[in-house]
Amino acid sequence: MTRTWLHLPALAWAFLIAISTLRAASAPDVIVAADGSGKYTSLQDAISAAPMRTGRNDPRWVIFVKRGTYRERIYVQRERGNILVRGEDAATTIITYDQHANLPGPDGKPIATYRTPTVHIDGDGMIWENITLANSAGPVAQALAVRADGDRLVFRRCRFLGWQDTILVNRGRHYFEDCYIEGHVDFIFGGATAYFSRCHLHCLKDGYITAASTPDGTQHGYVFADCRITGAEGVKAYLGRPWRNFARTIFLRTEMSSVIPPAGWDNWGKSDAERTTFYAEFGSTGPGANPAARVPWTKPLSAADVAALTPQRVLGGADRWDPAKP
């Protein structure tokens, strides 16, 4: 006798329902393909066509981006933030542009850093997966790959390529998981609260990895957990320097190559910042881990402090946001 769905045991029912739900959740609303095989050839066009969904419980609009190089600048307005952009493969699905701070604007003056991003996100609740976000301007000036102004932003298995000022986490709360981030000077900077889990940070030349501008009174700035730091041969790069005097940056259980100098941190020539910053490490490993030689104004962390530095605790806020359930 042929078994039908009506005769399936309870566990089999649960499995089939779960599979059906997963397929429905992952099915894209639109496909972007550079070769014309999708509905759009431009990611910006696909984002601009997304419905106005701003509520936390609104269904998330899913955009699938096929392999290819998309040379375009992306802007996600606040009313369209509730979007998932999923690339086919992070290494070969690339969004790139080359705008930099020294380019002249309409008034003939340099446009400056904030107007350079390849991807600018104003909307809340956006997710990016399996994609490269790059600024290809190179060593000419500040040139953002991403400017993040929205809240509750998630990046998983993404690559961020740039030189100076690769990622501006400007405001809001952001979660990065299993990402690759490269740059030279201050290539992660800004005033947001951001959590980096199992990320690979690669230093292209002598410089600084972070330049936090955490507002005074903010509990958390940047937390890097279980990450890895590498660099080009002979490069030396500090873990951070304070763009603003209340910068907060913490590294937990991070593997550090010899790219990190013994002092670890730099005060940006501001001795007063040594009293107000919160720079700390816990469980660093590798040739660049040298707690005895670190600058004396770094802060200690206890095991209890570290236990509280989970993504949910750091990013939760008043609404108890959990980046694992965005």
The pLDDT of residue 4: 33
Sheet containing strand 127-129, strands side by side:
30-32, 61-65, 83-87, 127-129, 153-156, 173-177, 193-197, 222-225, 248-252, 278-282
Q: What is the mean pLDDT of residues 108-133?
A: 97
Give the predicted TM-score (pTM) of the model: 0.91
Confidence bin at 2 (pLDDT 50/70/90):
very low
152-182 burial string, b = 16+ CB within 10 Å, else e? bbbbbbbbbbbbbbbbbbbebbbbbbebbbb
- Catalytically active residues are 165, 186
Name the 3-class secondary structure at 108: coil
The pLDDT of residue 26: 63
* Percent of the chain with pLDDT strictly greater than 70: 92
The pLDDT of residue 58: 84
64-83 burial string, b = 16+ CB within 10 Å, else e? bbbebebeebbebeeebbbb
Lowest mean pLDDT among 18-32, 97-111, 196-210: 18-32
Taking only the tens place, the pLDDT of each residue in 89-102 is: 999 999 999 999 99
User: Backbone phi, then psi, for 320, in 5-degree steps?
Assistant: 55, 45
Query: Domains in the chain and their CATH numbers?
Result: 14-151 (2.160.20.10), 172-319 (2.160.20.10)
Count of CB atoms situated within 10 Å of the CB of 206: 16
Q: What is the mean pLDDT of residues 281-287?
A: 98
Taking only the tens place, the pLDDT of each residue in 14-47 is: 333 333 333 344 699 999 999 999 999 999 999 9
Taking only the tens place, the pLDDT of each residue in 145-192 is: 999 999 999 999 999 999 999 999 999 999 999 999 999 999 999 999
The pLDDT of residue 17: 33
Taking only the tens place, the pLDDT of each residue in 61-84 is: 999 999 999 999 999 999 998 999
Which structure tokens are listed for 195? 């959590």
Taking only the tens place, the pLDDT of each residue in 297-323 is: 999 999 999 999 999 999 999 999 999
Q: How far apart are CA 236 and CA 144, in angstroms?
A: 22
